[in-house]
A = this chain, B = another copy of it.
């Protein structure tokens, strides 16, 4: 396969023809190499994982559903190792190109899927999002991206990372395709309605870089003009928004250490230093810290659901920083990941659906705006994206490569 973007897993050529008829007939999609495609090893971004696992016997639920709807698999895309990472650097398989910012990272862990969609190689792509792995690359590559309500789209046939966080998401370049694919994965009709109310999370904007807030200010201004019921709010009623990521990290890392413990012990796998660092604590988090994080998660869900009240959406930057350079040092990667999680932890912790809207630009670099919806409000969120696109998307022509 010709792969100028380095988006696909090296040495693989995975193609599956979709059904002859269906709502996605004639479309092509890429599959993050975390989903099973029958007959192929699901490599999960790590050669030692690939070597220690047999080929999948059947398609993952999401892959099968999209094939049944008429779309065809065009290949399997690079993921950050075992889905741990948010910048999109994979030291084994390479870092996929961000077609909208070639010197910068594509974001991860669904890096290759975002790269392939942004570069126009496929019509859409499947990703996964446990701690921000669809939202971050969608923001960095200027794409529509959904992290659904936790549990809304089946994770069957997907590598488990952290079960109470894992979700199936996807990327598209425009809102029409976003709605077409969403309708199939959710099994719901997608409307085209602006939200009745928007809460702009001032504390989330408050921890973002100036480059991000400057890029999103004109978008917010247009948003206020088209949705009169837009008002400011603080998400964290007491304490700092950074508390959310601290608790998310405790719970997510406790879960993924449980997930991978036996495999690591058996295989002694090779990881980049970035990913190895995620296992440094070796699961030795005190039980009371875990319990405290679980209590915080319950309160956080109640807080957010209360604010949204089944009709409003929370508006925030998807990531508080622009994409970093592809040749960033490990310490810069770690700082960036830590910054990004500060905002992606919100929907991670609450299990809420979130869409990235590719409406911001900072000197040609994509800056994503996010809407977080109420539990089960996935189709409504996608419909809002569709309604907003003609009103809010930059009129600047966006180059595709």
Contacts and interface: CB of A to CB of B under 8 A. Distances in A.
26 contacts: A48-B91, A89-B268, A91-B269, A91-B270, A92-B270, A264-B330, A265-B329, A265-B331, A267-B330, A268-B272, A268-B273, A268-B329, A268-B330, A268-B333, A270-B270, A270-B271, A270-B273, A271-B271, A273-B279, A276-B276, A276-B277, A276-B280, A277-B280, A279-B280, A280-B280, A280-B281
Interface in A86-134: 89, 91-92
A13 to B, nearest CB: 25
A268 B271 CA distance: 10
A272 B272 contact: no
A56 to B, nearest CB: 25
Interface centre among A89, A265, A268 (most CB of B within 10 A): A268
A212 B265 CA distance: 26
A266 interface: yes
A124 to B, nearest CB: 31
Interface string A308-350: 0000000000000000000001110100000000000000000
A314 B281 CA distance: 38
B270 A330 contact: no
B280 A273 contact: no
Interface of A: 48, 89, 91-92, 264-274, 276-277, 279-282, 329-331, 333
A272 B264 CA distance: 10
A78 to B, nearest CB: 15
3 smallest CB-CB distances across A and B, nearest first, come from A276-B276, A280-B280, A268-B330
B279 A330 contact: no
Contact of A279 (B266, B267, B270, B276): B276
Contacts of A277: 276, 280, 282
A391 B134 CA distance: 71
A273 B273 contact: no
A276 B333 CA distance: 17
Contact of A273 (B91, B92, B264): B264
A333 B264 CA distance: 12
Contacts of A329: 265-266, 268
A265 B330 contact: yes
